[in-house]
Structure 1
């Protein structure tokens, strides 16, 4: 006895092939043909719905060619393989990081936490002509890059530097 029949006391009726209670459940060529015909109709309806949805989206999709105004002239851009930039090679370390050396220090700040003050410096790193700014711990930057804190910058001591900033 099937589990559905045991639970509900009657045979399971699928949506594809309905049969009346008490009919013979032997599948003949008529039932198979009827079922395949229903499957074909269902498949056609699904394809029609998908086509309708695709047409709806295609009508609202923006074209890939961009138009923009430059001064008073209207220009149209079409993609060109010559405009693609080649990536520069970067030497990666074992942990998939790369070393960027800082160029200069732009700013300093002291963050006051509950129990202590943390000195930070805004470091400028340049790679491939692009400047990146990050806040780093002053103690680590002094240890790793003491040349950034040299007297040539115009700041002679820590106390004077802190008073200025």
Structure 2
């Protein structure tokens, strides 16, 4: 239903054909009352649809809040294509940690206790860069073993060759080596 028909219960026509020939009073209290009632119905329905959509949108959103002493993970690669901490692309770790929350600076910023390897980074982070820590020690990714220096570079060192594989194509052979 178009908005004009919802308000006035009839199609929108040009002013020449607005009223029938026999009608003498185009405006009256009856038409005004009907229009006001229709406006109230439309507002009520819009409010219902707005609240329904709001409940759908807010279903996955929640207020994240940390307290002093909580353990949190720190997001180290905000962009997926950035190469950080030893692995490229999809396999790069998104979070490192666990770090303890020292204090709440403002509503959306927290100060963390960082290890000496990350001493060059400012210790205050936005809440979007933090993730609530779990107390499972197996899932903790240690920063010490990553071999990252003060400007966040690392050296890849081959330990041993695990497997060799030669794939034969039509005109050539491609050899693959799996290295630890």
Report TM bin, short chain. 0.3 to 0.5
Higher Cα Rg, which structure:
1
Higher percent of residues as helix: 1
More RCO (CA 8 Å, sep 6+): 2
